[in-house]
Amino acid sequence: LGPTITVGEILVEIMATTIGKGFLDAQPLIGPFPSGAPAIFIDQVAKLGAQAGIIAAVGNDDFGRLNVERLRDDGADVSAIAVSPDFPTGSAFVRYANDGTRDFVYNIARSAAGEIKLTDAAKSLITRAGHLHVMGSALSIPAVWPIINFALQDIKKRGGTLSVDPNMRKELAAGEETGRQFATLLKATDLLLPSGDELFVACPASSESEAIGKLLASGISEIVMKRGQKGSALVTKTGSISRPAFIVDEVDPTGAGDCFGATYLTCRRLGHSAEQALDYANAAGARNVTYRGPMEGTSTFRELDQFIAATPRK
Ligand code: ATP
């Protein structure tokens, strides 16, 4: 099969434990937690026992070591994580508003993540890979664009596949070139994993069905819609399947989408049916939101089987 790989930001996250207050009042803050959407995604792939690697950069500091050690311990290939001598590991602060939305304060652009390079180790990982997953958040880092383009060409040439999670964060820059990179990627995408309005970011349209129709016609074979507490749905040219969410007490929503996407993709690559993959992915997302910290609730198949057996669905 070849490893699943991704490219992008590795960060630490510091989170507010009080809801609805500004950052200055949101005491106590907790963390640092290993984070960054691509890192959470690849940690979840590795936890499922599949080959997984990430092209990234961290600083020569404790925050970087925290992330690399976690990813390595969980089974990910960390050979293409460079250690920057000049820039620190990035950080993100998150707080939750009363209406359930989140605000992030990112420090990525001037961190090691802004300096990701196509190193020999990155090339070596790419040439072994069978699947590339791209997070929209990573596209806000210009240094990532040439790496994704190189990886895409190399992996597709060898019959590999591409998945994209639009994963837009309003706080991260989405300039014109980011939009162009996103549009180019969509043309080569096999699996798209939008949540909420991200479908319309991928394809402006007046209705969900119009957007889905256009995206499928453009060559995407599977669109998997993440719907939070409403579960998820797969739409293909031949029909759609919906699967209900699990009922859990959410303590921290961040990372659910990354765990969901990693689990759906990995199940499909391992040959599971779409229904099974949606159920496992719903379980991975739901289980993750019961842990504080975005990477603290990534799951093994054994943990997912136990969770599914013990948890009611909506
Ligand atoms: P994030 O950006 O926070 O990582 P997302 O917006 O990309 O997440 P969501 O739809 O919030 O994605 O979550 C992904 C999946 O995780 C959902 O489709 C669902 O299966 C599961 N999930 C998320 N939140 C909950 C919840 N509160 N209860 C049950 N399942 C949930």
Measured in angstroms, how far is the CA atom of residue 101 from the centroid of ligand 1? 13
Whole-number pLDDT of residue 168? 73
Q: In testing the pocket of ligand 1, which one of 260, 263, 280, 304 has its CB within 8 Å of the most ligand atoms?
A: 260
Closest-CA residue, ligand 1 atom 12, reads: 257
Closest-CA residue, ligand 1 atom 28, reads: 229
The answer to whether the pTM exceeds 0.90 is yes
Whole-number pLDDT of residue 170? 67
Neighbours of 103 (CB within 10 A): 15
Closest-CA residue, ligand 1 atom 2, reads: 257
Q: In testing the pocket of ligand 1, which one of 171, 192, 195 has its CB within 8 Å of the most ligand atoms?
A: 195
Can you spell out the DSSP letters for 104-159?
EEEE-TTSGGGG----HHHHHHHHH-SEEEEEGGGGGSGGGHHHHHHHHHHHHHTT
* ipTM of this predicted structure: 0.98
Instruction: Give CA torsion, residues 128, 179, 9, 11, to 10 deg.
Output: -160
Judged by DSSP in three states, 233 sits in strand
Q: Which residues of the chain, if any, have pLDDT below 70? A: 170-171, 173-174
Distance CA 216, CA 229 (A): 25
